[in-house]
Every structure is written in C-alpha cells, then in structure tokens.
Amino acid sequence: MQQGAPYRKILIANDGSDGARKALLAAIELAKLCGAELHMVSVEELPSFASSVDEIVEEKKEQNRRFARVIRDACRTASAAGVQLSPWLLAGHTVPIIAGLIERESFDLLVIGFMGHSALYSRLIGSTTDRLVDLAPCPVLVAK
C-alpha cells in the first residue's frame, strides 16, 4: 500500500445493475490509486415470505446462476485493469448483510452504484443505496 493512502481495503457492492458496473469501475481505479485490496460482495436476496422450502431453493438456484456471471465479469474487468478482486457471495437481506461484512472484515470504504427511482418511491420506501449510506460503518462512495 502507498504511504498515507486513505483506503487500504475497499468493498464494492455489485447486484449486476448498470449502477453497480459504474461503481465497479470507480472502485477499481480507486484501488489502483491507493494500492488497496479490492473486494466485491453480491447478496442473494431470498424471499421474505416464502410459501415453501422449494420456493427458497429455486430462488437460490436462480440467484446463483445470475451472480456467477456477475462475479466472473467483475473479476475479468478488474484483472484487465491489473487489480485482483476478491468476491463474496452471501445470502440474506442486502443492507444488514453488507453492513455486517464491512464491520467483520474492517473495510475502509464501500463503493455502491446509484439507482434512480421516482421521488415518490424514494420517500415511501427508500432505496438500498440510501439505507447503506445511513447504516454502513465506514465511508460510502456512490458512483453515478
């Protein structure tokens, strides 16, 4: 790590969206600048109220297929830029899973993508990005 680098361990949250792709590119550049470790987390969101165990198993299989591609593409992008990316694939509810990982693994920075919603949606429900900005136990960089 470079002397005095502000970040030594960066986490990118990647759900496979366009916003996450922008966040990945920003995190790769920042990791290169700081000489920091770069990690990526993808969270398999399981149904809140599954009607059966079969529904959970089927959802998990679908998420595994989707995130295998996301992880493969992100690792290739980082490698092409000369950065090693360490992926995490976790299951649960996104915000508490990511906040807990940050705390357990002592990440210095969380990089997430901005996902635009209507003003009404944001006021009534909020977004994962908003909740992570509020609850992450480290600085958060939102890439747009």
Residue 69: CATH number of its domain: 3.40.50.620
CA distances from 66 to 4, 9, 14, 96, 112 (A): 38, 26, 12, 21, 19
Total structural domains in the chain?
1
Query: Residue 127 above 90 pLDDT?
Result: no
Looking at the DSSP bridge assignments, the partners of residue 127 are none
Give the end-to-end CA distance of the chain in Å, rounded to a whole number: 27
Whether residue 20 is contained in a domain is answered as yes
Whether residue 75 is contained in a domain is answered as yes
Whether residue 39 is contained in a domain is answered as yes
Reported as a single tens digit per residue, the pLDDT across 32-64 is 999 999 999 999 876 655 566 666 666 656 666
- Of 9-23, 40-54, 127-141, give the lowest mean pLDDT range: 40-54
**Whether 13 contacts 23, CB under 8 Å:** yes
Reported as a single tens digit per residue, the pLDDT across 49-106 is 556 666 666 665 666 677 899 999 999 999 999 999 999 999 888 999 999 999 999 9
CA-based torsion, 68, 97, 139, 121: positive or negative: positive
The four Cα atoms 135, 137, 139, 142 give a dihedral, to 10 degrees, of: -40
User: Which pLDDT belongs to residue 124?
Assistant: 47
Whether residue 1 is contained in a domain is answered as no
User: Which pLDDT belongs to residue 138?
Assistant: 96
Whether residue 98 is contained in a domain is answered as yes
Domain that holds residue 139: 9-143
